[in-house]
Amino acid sequence: MTVPLLEVEGLSGAFRSPGGEMTPVLFDVGFALQPGVITAIVGETGSGKSLTALSILGIQPPNFQRSSGRILFEGRDLLALPAEEIRAIRGRRISMVFQDARAALNPVFTVGRQLADVHRLHHGGSAAAAMCRAIEALRSVAIPEPERRARQYPHEFSGGMAQRAMIAMAALVCAPRLVILDEPTTGLDVTIQAAIMELIAELVAERGLTACLITHDLGVVAETCANVVVMQSGRVVEAASTEAIFTRPRHAYTQRLLAASLLEDSAEPVPA
Ligand SMILES: Nc1ncnc2c1ncn2[C@@H]1O[C@H](COP(=O)(O)OP(=O)(O)O)[C@@H](O)[C@H]1O
Ligand SMILES: [Mg+2]
To test the ligand 1 pocket, which listed residue (41, 44, 50, 100) has its Cβ within 8 A of the most ligand atoms? 50
Q: Which of 175, 202, 218 is the last residue of a domain?
A: 175
Q: Are residues 69 and 167 in the same domain?
A: no
User: For ligand 2, a single-atom ion, which residues have Cβ within 5 Å?
Assistant: 50
Q: Which of 140, 175, 210 is the last residue of a domain?
A: 175
CA of 216 to the centre of ligand 1 (A): 14
Q: Are residues 72 and 188 in the same domain?
A: yes
Residue 205 placed within a domain = yes
Residue 99 placed within a domain = no
Give every CB contact of residue 1 below 8 A, 6+ residues apart in sequence.
Answer: none
Q: Which of 146, 175, 204 is the last residue of a domain?
A: 175
Q: Are residues 85 and 186 in the same domain?
A: yes
Q: Are residues 183 and 77 in the same domain?
A: yes
Q: Are residues 167 and 182 in the same domain?
A: no
Give the ligand whose atoms come closest to the C-alpha of residue 44: 1
pLDDT of residue 45: 92
For residue 44, which atom of ligand 1 is closest to its CA?
Answer: 22
Give the ligand whose atoms come closest to the C-alpha of residue 26: 1
Q: Are residues 33 and 88 in the same domain?
A: yes
pLDDT of residue 1: 62
Q: What is the CATH number of the domain that holds 200?
A: 3.40.50.300
For residue 17, which atom of ligand 1 is closest to its CA?
Answer: 4
For residue 52, which atom of ligand 1 is closest to its CA?
Answer: 17
Residues with CB under 6 A from ligand 1: 15, 25, 43, 45-51, 61, 63
Q: Is pTM beyond 0.75 here?
A: yes
Overall number of domains in the chain: 2
CA of 77 to the centre of ligand 2 (A): 23
Q: Rounded to the nearest 5°, which phi and psi values hold at 145? A: 45, 60
Q: What is the pLDDT of residues 232-260, one digit of tens each?
A: 999 999 999 999 999 999 999 999 999 88
Residue 98 placed within a domain = no
Q: Are residues 161 and 181 in the same domain?
A: no
Q: Rounded to the nearest 5°, which phi and psi values hold at 196? A: -70, -40
Q: Which residue owns the Cα nearest ligand 1 atom 16?
A: 48
Are the CB atoms for 1 and 227 separated by under 8 Å?
no
Q: What is the pLDDT of residues 31-40, one digit of tens each?
A: 999 999 999 9
pLDDT of residue 143: 93
Buried b (16+ CB within 10 A) or exposed e, 173-192: bbbbbbbbbbbbbbebeeeb
Q: In which residue ranges of the chain is pLDDT below 70?
A: 1, 265-272
**Residue range of the domain that includes 227:** 1-93+177-272
Q: Are residues 129 and 22 in the same domain?
A: no
Q: Are residues 158 and 220 in the same domain?
A: no
Q: Are residues 84 and 171 in the same domain?
A: no
Q: Strand 64-73 vs strand 76-77: parallel, antiparallel, or unpaired?
A: antiparallel
